[in-house]
Every structure is written in structure tokens, then in C-alpha cells.
Amino acid sequence: MTFVRVKFPPVLRAATNGARDVEASGRTIREALDDAAARIPGLKLHLFDEAGRVRQHILCIHNESVVRGPEMTQHRIEPGDEIILANAFAGG
């Protein structure tokens, strides 16, 4: 099983009891998010909508690429990878 680290944005720490990240397993980003939500149950509400889809304003940064929405189901990950869970943002 592939273990990766999923990192949370600051606003989500209200749901993670302050945790900044969690180790999760999976072969794709979507599987890793499912596992993270199983390890921290409060996360499920925030990652997935009623239809079970990853909320569409969420993006993941993996190996310096941005992965969104349905792409997460196919996007493969490797042991030791880091997945940065982020919301859409802008500078200025």
C-alpha cells in the first residue's frame, strides 16, 4: 500500500483537531483523500459533497502540478509523496 502525506490548509484545522497533515494510503489522490477522511472523520463533510464528489473548489497540489475534481480519481501517487490540499486562491 502506498503511504503519502496529505497536508491541510489552515482553515481546515478546525475539523482536524489542529492537525496540519495526516498519513494516508492509496494509489490515487482520490483514494488518499478517502483514507484521510476515514482517519479524521470530521474531514468527510468538507472534502466531499452530497453526491460523493470532491468539492469542486478544492484543488490538490502534487509534484508541483495542480489536480482538480475528477482528475483526482486517475492521478496516481507514489510512496512518500506529499499532497497539499488547498482551496482555490488568488494573490493581490
Partner 1 sequence: MGVAVIVGTKKGAAVLTSNTRENWSAVFVLKGWHVTASTRDEGGRYYAAINNDVFGTAIMVSDDLKGWRQLENAPRYQPGEKGNPEHIRIQASSDFMGKYKDAPRLVDQIWTLHAAHGAIYAGVSEAGVFVSRDRGQSWGGIDGFNNQPGREEWPPGFGGLCAHTILTDAKSPDRIWVGVSSVGFFRSDDGGRSWALKNDGVNQTLGSSCVHRVTHDPNNADVMYRQDHRGMYMTTNGGDSWSVIETGLPVGDLSDGHRCSFGFPIVMDKRTQSVFAVPLEGDNFRMPPNGKLAVYRTRDGGGRWEALSNGLPDGAFVTVLRGAMSTDELDPGGVYFGTSSGAVYASPDLGGHWSEIARGLPRISSVEAYAT
What is the contact surface with partner 1 in residues (CB under 8 A)? 10-12, 14-15, 17, 41-42, 44-47, 49-52, 55-58, 68, 87-88
DSSP H helices, 1-92, are 29-39, 44-47, 71-74
User: Closer CB to partner 1, residue 14 or residue 78?
Assistant: 14
CB of 80 to partner 1, least distance (A): 26
**Residue 84 and residue 21: Cα distance in Å, rounded?**
9
Residue given cell 488518499 in the structure block: 32
CB of 90 to partner 1, least distance (A): 10
Does the CA dihedral 87-88-91-92 come out positive or negative?
Answer: negative
CB of 21 to partner 1, least distance (A): 16
